[in-house]
């Protein structure tokens, strides 16, 4: 499967965003090449605690209490500056006020906008447990440095080494065809099921939230979801 063709097929030409801050994808019509019906349906066991009709899978990274009443399903690209802005400026308060208190959980899904983001996603998925979200934070906080370096894949490997991946493990992760297929399968589901066409995009207990909102605005969606679930 040719990854470059798949990403182009998804319309991954990023352009400046509208209100709220997002990277928009152009021409994202039709099924993703190479995505099977099983892939589109998740290809994995659902968890016991889905939220608002949102199927979750056993390989979804989850930050927070698995039984929290509010689920934030995030679709982000590791090379998207608006995604980095959300993780830098908004998520810390969401974590402090909602996730750490058990009122909400964050489910992270990769939505790579380019080949570099796809390889970064594959590397991140090799870091398990709490280390996954720590590594995601590092990638977003240092995005300007590694993603725009002369050799971004080498810079990504250096960051991965700091997270505990040996050079051999990093090479295996970013070239793992099955793992990359899984990332693209979830990306396809995001587009087809939740109509994701930009990053970052969120689904909060079934309600779509597009763009890197500031904390006060994002908090309003969380408050509404919490009230509806009580």
CA distance 65 to 43: 24
Lowest mean pLDDT among 41-50, 103-112, 153-162: 41-50
- Which pLDDT belongs to residue 129? 83
Neighbouring-strand partners of residue 88:
none
CA distance 15 to 181: 25
Helices (H), the chain: 3-9, 37-40, 81-85, 91-94, 115-125, 130-141, 143-146, 152-162, 167-174, 177-194, 215-229
Domains and CATH numbers, the chain: 3-15+51-229 (3.40.30.10)
Q: Which of 86, 72, 97 is nearest to 211 (CA)?
A: 86
In this structure, the strands spanning 207-210 and 70-76 are unpaired
- Which pLDDT belongs to residue 12? 38
Averaged pLDDT of the chain = 83
Percent over 70 (pLDDT), the chain: 77
Average confidence (pLDDT) over 100-119: 97
* 95, two tokens: 């974590």
The HSE-up count of residue 1 (CA atoms within 13 Å, CB side) is 20
CA distance 119 to 83: 17
pLDDT tens digits for range 77-105: 999 999 999 999 999 999 999 999 999 99
H or E element at residue 105? strand 104-110
pLDDT tens digits for range 117-174: 999 999 999 998 889 999 999 999 999 999 999 999 999 999 999 999 999 999 999 9
Average confidence (pLDDT) over 191-199: 94
Neighbouring-strand partners of residue 72:
106, 204
- Which pLDDT belongs to residue 45? 44
pLDDT tier at 53, thresholds 50, 70, 90 = low
Alpha-carbon distances, residue 123 vs 51, 82, 161 (angstroms): 28, 21, 10
């Amino acid at each position: 499967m040719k990854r470059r063709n798949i990403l182009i097929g998804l319309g991954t030409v990023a352009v400046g965003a509208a209100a709220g801050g997002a990277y928009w994808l152009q021409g994202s019509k039709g099924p993703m090449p190479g995505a099977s019906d099983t892939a589109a349906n998740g290809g994995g066991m659902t968890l016991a605690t889905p939220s608002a009709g949102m199927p979750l899978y056993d390989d979804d990274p989850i930050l927070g209490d698995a039984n929290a009443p509010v689920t934030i399903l995030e679709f982000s690209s590791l090379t998207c500056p608006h995604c980095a802005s959300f993780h830098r400026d908004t998520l810390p308060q969401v974590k402090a006020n909602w996730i750490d208190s058990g009122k909400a959980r964050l489910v992270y899904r990769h939505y790579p906008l380019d080949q570099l983001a796809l390889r970064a996603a594959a590397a991140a998925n090799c870091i398990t447990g709490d280390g996954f979200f720590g590594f995601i934070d590092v990638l977003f906080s240092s995005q300007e440095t590694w993603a725009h370096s002369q050799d971004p894949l080498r810079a990504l490997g250096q960051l991965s080494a700091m997270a505990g991946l040996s050079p051999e493990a990093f090479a295996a992760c970013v070239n793992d065809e099955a793992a990359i297929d899984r990332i693209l399968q979830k990306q396809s589901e995001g587009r087809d099921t939740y109509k994701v066409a930009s990053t970052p995009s969120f689904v909060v207990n079934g309600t779509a939230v597009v763009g890197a909102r500031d904390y006060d605005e994002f908090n309003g969606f969380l408050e509404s979801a919490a009230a509806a679930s009580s």
